[in-house]
Amino acid sequence: DSGVTQTPKHLITATGQRVTLRCSPRSGDLSVYWYQQSLDQGLQFLIQYYNGEERAKGNILERFSAQQFPDLHSELNLSSLELGDSALYFCASSSGVAAPYEQYFGPGTRLTVT
Protein backbone atom coordinates (compact mmCIF):
# COMPACT_ATOMS: atom_id res chain seq x y z
CA ASP A 1 0.00 0.00 0.00
CA SER A 2 1.57 3.26 -1.20
CA GLY A 3 -0.49 5.50 1.08
CA VAL A 4 -1.99 7.32 -1.91
CA THR A 5 -5.74 6.90 -2.26
CA GLN A 6 -7.87 7.47 -5.33
CA THR A 7 -11.62 7.48 -5.71
CA PRO A 8 -13.60 6.16 -7.39
CA LYS A 9 -11.94 2.93 -8.43
CA HIS A 10 -14.13 2.56 -11.52
CA LEU A 11 -16.22 5.07 -13.41
CA ILE A 12 -18.50 4.46 -16.37
CA THR A 13 -20.05 7.42 -18.08
CA ALA A 14 -21.34 8.59 -21.44
CA THR A 15 -19.75 10.80 -24.04
CA GLY A 16 -20.22 14.49 -23.39
CA GLN A 17 -20.39 14.08 -19.63
CA ARG A 18 -18.13 15.51 -16.93
CA VAL A 19 -16.43 13.56 -14.15
CA THR A 20 -14.22 14.35 -11.18
CA LEU A 21 -11.44 12.06 -9.99
CA ARG A 22 -10.11 12.49 -6.49
CA CYS A 23 -6.69 11.84 -5.01
CA SER A 24 -5.33 12.01 -1.48
CA PRO A 25 -1.53 12.03 -1.31
CA ARG A 26 0.64 10.19 1.19
CA SER A 27 0.74 11.85 4.57
CA GLY A 28 3.29 14.65 4.47
CA ASP A 29 3.67 14.75 0.67
CA LEU A 30 3.19 18.16 -0.87
CA SER A 31 3.47 17.26 -4.56
CA VAL A 32 0.72 15.59 -6.55
CA TYR A 33 1.00 14.34 -10.11
CA TRP A 34 -1.67 13.12 -12.50
CA TYR A 35 -1.04 10.57 -15.26
CA GLN A 36 -3.14 8.95 -17.94
CA GLN A 37 -2.41 5.37 -18.93
CA SER A 38 -3.93 4.02 -22.09
CA LEU A 39 -3.09 0.89 -24.03
CA ASP A 40 -1.73 2.68 -27.08
CA GLN A 41 0.03 5.63 -25.44
CA GLY A 42 1.65 4.31 -22.31
CA LEU A 43 1.86 6.54 -19.26
CA GLN A 44 1.33 10.20 -20.09
CA PHE A 45 2.12 12.95 -17.61
CA LEU A 46 -0.78 15.37 -17.31
CA ILE A 47 -0.07 17.90 -14.58
CA GLN A 48 1.73 18.46 -11.30
CA TYR A 49 0.85 20.52 -8.23
CA TYR A 50 2.99 21.47 -5.30
CA ASN A 51 1.40 22.79 -2.13
CA GLY A 52 -1.60 24.08 -4.02
CA GLU A 53 0.20 25.61 -6.97
CA GLU A 54 0.57 24.25 -10.48
CA ARG A 55 4.25 23.47 -11.14
CA ALA A 56 4.40 21.53 -14.39
CA LYS A 57 2.09 20.77 -17.23
CA GLY A 58 2.26 17.90 -19.65
CA ASN A 59 -0.04 16.71 -22.39
CA ILE A 60 -3.23 17.79 -20.67
CA LEU A 61 -6.18 18.60 -22.89
CA GLU A 62 -8.04 21.88 -22.48
CA ARG A 63 -11.14 19.85 -21.55
CA PHE A 64 -9.25 18.62 -18.49
CA SER A 65 -8.41 20.65 -15.42
CA ALA A 66 -7.06 19.97 -11.98
CA GLN A 67 -6.50 21.63 -8.66
CA GLN A 68 -4.92 20.92 -5.32
CA PHE A 69 -6.77 22.03 -2.23
CA PRO A 70 -5.42 23.43 1.08
CA ASP A 71 -5.67 19.99 2.66
CA LEU A 72 -3.43 18.80 -0.23
CA HIS A 73 -5.92 16.47 -1.84
CA SER A 74 -6.29 16.95 -5.56
CA GLU A 75 -9.07 16.61 -8.08
CA LEU A 76 -8.86 16.02 -11.82
CA ASN A 77 -11.88 17.23 -13.76
CA LEU A 78 -12.59 15.76 -17.17
CA SER A 79 -15.32 17.37 -19.26
CA SER A 80 -16.97 16.87 -22.65
CA LEU A 81 -15.79 13.31 -22.46
CA GLU A 82 -14.93 11.41 -25.61
CA LEU A 83 -14.50 7.69 -26.21
CA GLY A 84 -10.75 8.22 -26.44
CA ASP A 85 -10.64 9.47 -22.85
CA SER A 86 -11.24 5.94 -21.64
CA ALA A 87 -8.10 5.06 -19.69
CA LEU A 88 -6.58 4.46 -16.30
CA TYR A 89 -5.89 7.69 -14.46
CA PHE A 90 -3.19 7.58 -11.83
CA CYS A 91 -2.35 10.02 -9.13
CA ALA A 92 1.09 10.02 -7.54
CA SER A 93 2.63 12.00 -4.74
CA SER A 94 6.11 12.90 -3.58
CA SER A 95 7.69 14.88 -0.78
CA GLY A 96 8.70 17.92 -2.75
CA VAL A 97 9.29 19.24 -6.21
CA ALA A 98 12.83 20.46 -6.85
CA ALA A 99 14.76 17.39 -5.75
CA PRO A 100 14.24 14.15 -7.74
CA TYR A 101 12.00 12.41 -5.24
CA GLU A 102 10.49 9.08 -6.14
CA GLN A 103 6.78 9.10 -6.67
CA TYR A 104 4.24 6.97 -4.87
CA PHE A 105 1.33 5.93 -7.06
CA GLY A 106 -2.27 5.35 -6.14
CA PRO A 107 -4.23 2.32 -7.41
CA GLY A 108 -5.78 4.34 -10.22
CA THR A 109 -9.27 5.18 -11.46
CA ARG A 110 -10.44 3.26 -14.48
CA LEU A 111 -12.61 5.51 -16.63
CA THR A 112 -14.81 4.00 -19.30
CA VAL A 113 -16.60 6.37 -21.65
CA THR A 114 -19.44 4.76 -23.62
Partner 1 sequence: AQSVAQPEDQVNVAEGNPLTVKCTYSVSGNPYLFWYVQYPNRGLQFLLKYITGDNLVKGSYGFEAEFNKSQTSFHLKKPSALVSDSALYFCAVRDNVGTYKYIFGTGTRLKVLA
* Contact indicator for 74, 66 with CB cutoff of 8 Å: yes
Cα dihedral angle (36, 102, 25, 18), rounded to 10 degrees?
-10
CB-nearer residue toward partner 1: 92 or 113: 92
CB 89 within 8 A of CB 108: yes
By CB under 8 A, the residues from 73 to 102 that bind partner 1 are 90, 92, 97-98, 100, 102
8-state DSSP, 12: E
Q: How far does Cα 86 stand from its chain's mean position?
A: 14
Q: Of the listed pieces 10-18, 20-28, 64-72, 105-113, which binds partner 1 according to CB under 8 A?
A: 105-113
Note whether 12 binds partner 1 by CB under 8 A.
no
- Identify which of residues 64 and 90 has a Cβ nearer to partner 1 in the complex: 90
Q: Which stretch binds partner 1 (CB under 8 A): 10-18, 64-72, 76-84, 104-112?
A: 104-112
